[in-house]
Structure 1
């Protein structure tokens, strides 16, 4: 019997109830030995609840059912696998579909009979009731603490330290940075500019991270800095409430309200469109510094009519490292079309399309190979961990690193397969006559052609005038 061992712990269970990863592993291994079974895989979810199936290792285990890796799933107790009756039904159906048995080392039941399934369902129902009941008690207790003005999160917000179990006190060094953020914003600085300013001065966040726009925006939006605790801000918003004067204030309420007004006004200045397409993005390069040009849209009002203009800017310009002015997309498109008239793609139309498809298949093969290598390394570490050649901490660190790598590769693969499923918008025949048909192409079709045929376009701007001739394409490199 080839056995897959599934282990799950949450932080509380590991500390209070003796369900540590090591303890479960030792008992399950001893059980497998007593049955004469071979352990072929370990799946370990650490610090995760069994309220749903959104667990990395559980998903990996269920995904392995199609691969005929094991004949039986062994757990210490049923509640290690799930505390949801519906999820239990789904998993039992999957196990039966792939002829995989399910066994608990401490509970006796048989899922192959109606009585056995009833027994398992009753146990799962009790586990679900216990989880939901405990969750309600904890939620009620935390809400009550919040209404009493106590801090219920483990981590204090930037600008504060925890005082005792549930109180906050001001961190003088961080509070100075908080006040500076508000001052900079009310004096005209952008959220991006504030983050850039802090990073240039090597000011670190609470967890020693660099600053991004999200954390800065969160601080500027959070009323805790005026002394007000908010609860149910993200979840259960219908039960949202605030408790004023619960913590020491760092920012005056008038300043906080002013920041909210400025933020509301600024939000309408730079509209974004999720469907906008920039044909030259990632391809266009700055002639002055070599950095990529990024697309931007802005709203212009003339004679009481609003227009949206599209342009490209050098990314280094935001950092003060380049002086290339904005490049109008219309003018760049005009100059690119002039270059098209000198190209002869009669013989190369098929090649451009075919080379793109070949490159895509090569990438798919490389990604699939890397996923296979990750699985092999994971098995080696599981063997080393099971034989206590590496520590629990080392095992989990390596697993997390491989998981991050696996997620990135799968995202890239998904994008490649998605592109493969879509029919090519531009045929080889259209490519051969691209100069005359350019004006009829959509933005998406133009972008497709540029990405298929061009590797790099070097762009410069001779002056600040709004004219087509101010844009120069200094060089074009083909794929």
Structure 2
């Protein structure tokens, strides 16, 4: 009999009940010897509950059922495998489908008989009942507190302190939250904001270094406009929000503006999203359809230094287009003139599908997942033959599991994301047109990112004036 050993341990069980990985491994190996079985594979989940099947090693084991790797799944106790009767029922069906037996080393179960399956189901039902009964009481209480606007977590988010059952603003941290939102609106990326905060020795709530993800989490969290969310990460089917549950730090208009800006920046490279070239990525050559890229130049005449910006077609470099360079100030002038002269009363809102191809990125992630699988198999073989210690094995497994979880999360976001683009109204365009001369370069850049999907440009004469530039068409979101 070729046996696959499944081991699971949570932190509390390891400390309090003696179910350590090493202890289970020794007892299961002894049991296999007593039965004359050969252990051909180990699957080890560390620090994970058995309440569901979201366990990396369990999934890997189930994925191997049709590969003829083993004949039997061996566990120390039934609750090592699962505490859910529904999950157990599904796994038993899978085992039977692939002619795989299931054995517990400390309990008398034999899934090849109806009586054995009944015992397994009864024990799992009792375990699930106990867990769910306790979990329902706790969950119901916490959910009700959240609906009342009470804070149910042990740690307050950055910008707040816990005052009894509620959150109150931490004025020192709230000042940094407001500055963080302003820095993003000024054109700085999340990565640059994190670097700046670290350079200024501004501590996070957990006294850790600021990272891009930390900044992004704050920018996306509606808590800062006063809306508390519950079941955001887990039990998403029961997700809900409670408006005006906490004192806001950021006003709603600014928060919504940041959300729209983040959606738009997803379609731009990081450098382009924060550059001073307001027409980069959206500017297109009317002659060949190529993209326009910005360039700068400095000319010294006498004691004065003159700085200028311009755009050129990307295909011109390789001789694929003859569009001359277009001065940035001429293009901006014609853009403003275009909006001013346009009959906005007939303006129709447009929306973009916002979808981009991520095929290459998905392929790279899938290759990395395959590499993780190969390395995991090698380490398990080395651990089973005692070539590496339990501590080294656990460390490597955790590192790979963390990386695998991160990759799968990003893959799910890429595959399932449907980017929703903001729509632009005629009234909004009218207000921007009238205030154009008063806007800063950063504000103009933001307007372009949020509003314009594409602008086709041509240069009709060699004259050095705005009239030499013609805007053929503009497509708005």
Q: Which TM-score bucket, shorter chain as reference?
A: 0.5 to 0.7
Gaps of 5+ in 1: 245-252, 273-293, 297-312, 344-359, 415-460, 472-479
Q: Which residue of 2 aligns with 1:395?
A: 393
**Pairing of 1:270-419 with structure 2 (within 5 A):** 315-319=270-274, 325-331=279-285, 334-336=288-290, 374-403=372-401
Paired with 1:10 and 1:145, the residues of 2 have a C-alpha distance of 28
Q: Does 1:217 align with 2:215?
A: no
- Corresponding residue SS for 2:158: coil
Q: Which residue of 1 aligns with 2:176?
A: 180
**Offset of 1:74 from its aligned partner?**
0.4
Q: Which residue of 2 aligns with 1:60?
A: 60
Paired with 1:243 and 1:334, the residues of 2 have a C-alpha distance of 54
**Pairing of 1:383-462 with structure 2 (within 5 A):** 383-403=381-401
Write the deviation string for residues 26-52 of structure 1: whole angstroms up to 9, x where unpaired. 221221122222111111112222222
**Offset of 1:269 from its aligned partner?**
7.3
**Pairing of 1:58-207 with structure 2 (within 5 A):** 58-140=58-140, 142=142, 152-158=152-158, 176-183=172-179, 185=181, 189=185, 196-202=192-198, 203=202, 205=204, 206=206, 207=208
- Corresponding residue SS for 1:6: strand
Q: Which residue of 1 aligns with 2:256?
A: 264
Q: 1:185 to 1:259 in 2, by over 3 A?
A: farther
Contact 1:221 1:260 in 2 (8 A): no
Q: TM-score, normalised by structure 1?
A: 0.57
Q: TM-score, normalised by structure 2?
A: 0.57
Q: 1:30 to 1:193 in 2, by over 3 A?
A: same
Q: Which residue of 2 aligns with 1:448?
A: none
**Offset of 1:180 from its aligned partner?**
2.3
Contact 1:11 1:47 in 2 (8 A): yes
- Corresponding residue SS for 1:4: strand
**Offset of 1:218 from its aligned partner?**
4.7
Q: Which residue of 2 aligns with 1:347?
A: none
**Offset of 1:87 from its aligned partner?**
1.7
Q: Which residue of 1 aligns with 2:443?
A: none
**Offset of 1:387 from its aligned partner?**
4.6
Write the deviation string for residues 249-293 of structure 1: whole angstroms up to 9, x where unpaired. xxxx4x62x522322356567876xxxxxxxxxxxxxxxxxxxxx
Q: 1:187 to 1:214 in 2, by over 3 A?
A: closer
Paired with 1:26 and 1:398, the residues of 2 have a C-alpha distance of 20
Q: 1:181 to 1:24 in 2, by over 3 A?
A: same
* Cα-Cα RMSD: 5.2
Higher relative contact order (CA 8 A, sep 6+): 2
**Offset of 1:119 from its aligned partner?**
1.5
Paired with 1:372 and 1:261, the residues of 2 have a C-alpha distance of 45
Paired with 1:336 and 1:365, the residues of 2 have a C-alpha distance of 28
Contact 1:371 1:406 in 2 (8 A): yes
Contact 2:195 2:210 in 1 (8 A): no
Contact 2:71 2:101 in 1 (8 A): yes
Write the deviation string for residues 35-71 of structure 1: whole angstroms up to 9, x where unpaired. 2221111111122222222211111001111111111
- Corresponding residue SS for 2:87: helix
Write the deviation string for residues 214-271 of structure 1: whole angstroms up to 9, x where unpaired. 22225673478xxx98765665446969977xxxxxxxx4x62x52232235656787
Q: Number of paired residues? A: 355
Paired with 2:158 and 2:66, the residues of 1 have a C-alpha distance of 47
Q: 1:109 to 1:239 in 2, by over 3 A?
A: farther
Contact 1:7 1:24 in 2 (8 A): yes
